[in-house]
Amino acid sequence: MLEVFFLGTGGIMPTRERNVPAIALRYKGEIILFDAGEGTMRQMNAARLSPMKVEKIFITHFHGDHYLGLAALIQTMNLWDREKPLHIYGPKYTFEFVQHFLQSGFFRPGFEVHVHELGETRLRFGDYEIWSFKVEHGIPALGYVFKEKDRRGRFLPEKLAQYGLSEGPVLGRLEREGKIEWNGRIIRLEDVTGPRRKGVKVVYTGDTGPAERTRLFAERADLLIHDATYLSQGDRGESYHSTVEEACEIARNARVKLLALFHRAFRYTYDEYLLGASEVCRRLGVNFIVPRDFDVLTFKSGKWKLRNHLEEGE
């Protein structure tokens, strides 16, 4: 099961309604952060997510609304006597900017902080991978793909019976080794399981104008979290951001299952933005949400379920 926590959903500056960008993915007990705008530590506290379970932070780019929360996160980890290393990933200049952060004030972390500068890279971590790709924002900036590894198909009871197999250690050995000898026969894992199940795929663009590379990396994603700062071209002006319509077109062309419209400009109220986005996305036939702070998407059995963490009183 994968959970996506929208800790901050707006762009440029925080408002009373919502904070600046931060997204937490919780997967098998680990929390992976994508961006950490100012106030991210507060948002994690409200969402009851422990910074001690964060091992990796992926920064899309170094505009303040996407990284100024790093210092509070690292200092809190230090106050709580963190020992395990923290890994921070980002585009060109990440090492320089993070080192400046770590050397400011009367503060030095008592644990290792490893900084990684990425281009377009494929990183492998156990049961999942993180891919980085270049986006269009006028400065070095990356989007990221979380891709769970494909899993084996489920054991089929009728096939197990056909080969005289039952639940127990023998199935564990078959799963580990891929094939076993049983009752004088060689049995392969694919002989007794259904089709392989595709791992979940989540794509986060950070700030970007519309880009063909985003469409390529978002192909058939289960969730695309795309910059959709403005409702119209006129509002955007010359900035390196996307409109709702541009985000919807990327999602439609990439055959994405669900689009989350992200980084809403502070000029729009939630209701105003939702109304405008609904008209565009429905016209283009795109399944979408406009997440609010503390909304949580849970992916289970191939489907997304949306809830709001605070409204449930958790």
Rounded CA separation 298/81 (Å): 31
Longest Cα–Cα distance of the chain, Å, equals 73
Kindly name the residue from 35, 65, 227, 293 that is annotated as catalytic. Answer: 65
Count CB-CB contacts under 10 A for residue 124. 10
81 annotated binding-site participant: no
61 is in an annotated binding site: yes
Is 222 annotated in a binding site? The answer is no
**Is 226 annotated among the ligand-binding residues?**
no
Residue 81 is among the residues annotated as catalytic for this protein: no
Query: Is 137 among the annotated ligand-binding positions?
Result: yes
At 68, list the tokens: 């100024």
Residue list, annotated binding site for Zn(2+): 61, 63, 65-66, 137, 207, 263
Question: Which residues are tagged catalytic?
Answer: 65
Q: Which residues are annotated as part of the binding site?
A: 61, 63, 65-66, 137, 207, 263
